[in-house]
Amino acid sequence: MSIESIPVIRAAYLNRCLAALEQCRGNRKVCLQQFNLPTGLAGNADAYVPLKAVAALVRSAAYGADSEAFILRVATGLKLADFGSELRSGLLRARNLEEALQTLIRLVDREQSNVRYRMRRGGGEVRIVASCADPSRWRSHFIDEWFRLWPLLAIFRHFAGKAWAPTVMVFQSEQAPGARMQRVFAQTRFQIDRAETSIAFPAAILESNVISCDAGRSAFGKSRGRRVAAGPATWDFATSVRAIVRSYLNDGYPDINQIADTVGYSARTLQRRLRECDTNFTQIVQQCRIELARDLLHDSDMRIIDVANAVGYDDPAHFSRAFGRVVGVSPSHYQRRAAA
């Protein structure tokens, strides 16, 4: 029997959420530490972090303030430039809204690994159902449902205009939208306590293609030449653990007890499930350290000793031997080849 993967989300969404939470401004590190999230991800929007921990942080902070104001700040702040490179490239090639939505449906798990979209048509209306791999874990929280809706709204705003709003928004939660939400979505009918989260809109806007070539490049941001790995083509348990471990490397050698607690397991259970995947925590940490070292060597002119320190090796000779065993060449040879 296959083991279900651990839900993860790109750090770009965490960054947008932190920016929208007033009490986290200027105190980002404390907010992250409180929920066992990595603190060394500044500028790395493509890292994957545990969705459970991000959702817990957001629920705690947002409900302590104005949850609807927070939801709307993220909804208006999230841009196509926040998406991962593979999704951005697909969206840039889309000729209209329909192609953009099909691209998102195909690649959404690169953004949030447990999210799935389905498009239904009928009677001149289109409905997009936003579900997740483990509904029992996310069903009851109003804010959690918005994690699934934010990417959709960003794409609609880009192709159909900033004033666009769905005709219907359906929520599993029993929480009714308040006055602020109803003012922003004045033309939208809300339904609550339903079986699925979804939005509906007229089929005619699928042909919207207001994005121009120049506007598209501006919206997606400029490339800085940094090599950015695309998200995994498929998620399994070991792949999700590997993605999470890598995001913690900048905080030092990842502690298995911290990782396990953050994703909802005991350390013993985490190790047992990794053994069922023919690996273990130590092997995964080693793989992630070498992967990060390869990126640093490829994307910069850092000294070998600095790369070694950055990935947690105190002894550069030890790092060079470990790198050579995995990659097949020395770090200096790899760096020269990448530069060429």
pLDDT at 175: 86
Strand 197-202 relative to strand 168-170: parallel, antiparallel, unpaired? antiparallel
Q: Residue 162: enclosing H or E segment and its boundaries?
A: none
User: How many residues appear in the chain?
Assistant: 340
**CA–CA gap between residue 113 and residue 45 (Å, rounded):** 15
Asked if pLDDT for residue 144 goes beyond 90, the answer is: no
pLDDT at 223: 41
Which residues lie closer than 8 Å to 197 by C-beta, 6 or more apart? Answer: 129, 130, 131, 145, 148, 149, 170, 171, 172
Residue 64: pLDDT band with limits 50, 70, 90:
low
Asked if pLDDT for residue 193 goes beyond 80, the answer is: yes
The mean pLDDT of 47-51, rounded to a whole number, is: 94
Average model confidence (pLDDT) across the chain = 87
Burial of 126 (0-12, 13-18, 19+ CB in 10 A): buried
Of 295 and 117, which is predicted with more confidence? 117
Taking alpha carbons only, the member of 56, 61, 55, 29 closest to residue 42 is 29
Q: What per-residue string of b and e applies to 62-86 under the rule 16 or more CB within 10 Å gives b?
A: beeeebbebbbbbbeebebebbbbb
The mean pLDDT of 306-334, rounded to a whole number, is: 91
pLDDT at 215: 43
The mean pLDDT of 275-303, rounded to a whole number, is: 91
Asked if pLDDT for residue 271 goes beyond 50, the answer is: yes
Dihedral sign (CA 255, 256, 257, 260): positive
Asked if pLDDT for residue 212 goes beyond 70, the answer is: no
Alpha-carbon Rg for the chain in angstroms: 21
pLDDT at 132: 85
Which residues lie closer than 8 Å to 303 by C-beta, 6 or more apart? Answer: none
Q: Is 21 helix (H, G, I), strand (E, B) or coil?
A: coil
Asked if pLDDT for residue 225 goes beyond 60, the answer is: no
Q: Residue 284: enclosing H or E segment and its boundaries?
A: helix 281-299
One-letter amino acid of 38: P
pLDDT at 54: 93
The neighbour count for residue 203, using CB atoms within 10 Å, is 14
| Residues 184/135, Cβ–Cβ less than 8 Å | no
Of 241 and 58, which is predicted with more confidence? 241
**CA–CA gap between residue 3 and residue 6 (Å, rounded):** 9
Give percent of the chain with pLDDT exceeding 90.
60
Spell out the domain ranges in the chain.
Answer: 79-223, 237-339
pLDDT at 231: 62
pTM: 0.88
Asked if pLDDT for residue 138 goes beyond 60, the answer is: no
The whole-angstrom distance between residue 119's C-alpha and the CA centroid of its chain comes to 22
CATH among 1.10.1060.10, 3.40.50.300, 1.20.1250.20, 1.10.10.60 for 237-339: 1.10.10.60
Asked if pLDDT for residue 214 goes beyond 50, the answer is: no
Of 245 and 340, which is predicted with more confidence? 245
The mean pLDDT of 48-57, rounded to a whole number, is: 93
pLDDT at 190: 96
pLDDT at 217: 47
CA atoms within 13 A on the CB side of 35: 21
